[in-house]
Copies of this chain bind each other. A is one copy, B any other.
């Protein structure tokens, strides 16, 4: 594509480096910004810059935060005896949106993946162990929920963490896998369907 202006070309190139945005979409966004008043672009530009430069990570759970300790870790209504271990920040948001969980989180920052060169030391696993050990004094952590992806990498990470936690004598659980609510048996993959039968739960209508 030939651009009539270096400024446009530059902006299109920068925007199209974002995931899922091609040159055509980038150009559409650029032309949209050109039609708006200058402050619209200024606010967007500043929001991105201050996000990237001022963002902090919670020192306890490694979630993004505006403060040293995040709202969840310092929340007075949170159940401090449970930690839910997740791969990354969007997972925290997803679980928070369910409004079904009141415990704390621990963001690993990835999963073990030998192919991508990510070993246990690249993840916040040591920090999880330390957090549980330290908790013995004040708020005691009694359960760790592993909410990692149902992939080989996720399973490997779950296995690794479980083995590490064995010495600490703590309850370890994992989120349920099965047919999604509203999902039809007919269209569910065989692995999920097979496992959902093996891991069936008691059904009562009391």
Binding site for B on A (CB under 8 A): 1-8, 10-11, 13-15, 17-21, 25, 27-34, 38, 40-56, 63-66, 70-72, 88-90, 92-93, 96-97
Contacts and interface: CB of A to CB of B under 8 A. Distances in A.
Contact of A45 (B18, B49, B71, B93): B49
B19 A32 contact: yes
Contact of A14 (B15, B43, B70, B89): B43
A2 to B, nearest CB: 6
A4 B65 contact: yes
B4 A93 contact: yes
A33 B52 CA distance: 7
7 contacts: A7-B64, A10-B50, A11-B48, A13-B47, A19-B32, A27-B93, A42-B52
A51 B25 CA distance: 16
Nearest to A110: B35
Nearest to A10: B47
Nearest to A2: B96
A14 B48 CA distance: 9
B10 A64 contact: no
A55 to B, nearest CB: 6
Given A15-B47, A27-B93, 13 more contacts: A1-B97, A2-B96, A4-B64, A7-B50, A7-B54, A8-B55, A10-B47, A13-B47, A18-B29, A27-B90, A34-B51, A41-B52, A44-B48
A164 B92 CA distance: 62
A14 to B, nearest CB: 4
A1 B72 CA distance: 15
B2 A64 contact: no
Top 7 closest A-B pairs, CB basis?
A: A41-B52, A14-B47, A11-B51, A45-B49, A14-B44, A11-B47, A45-B45
A64 B34 contact: yes
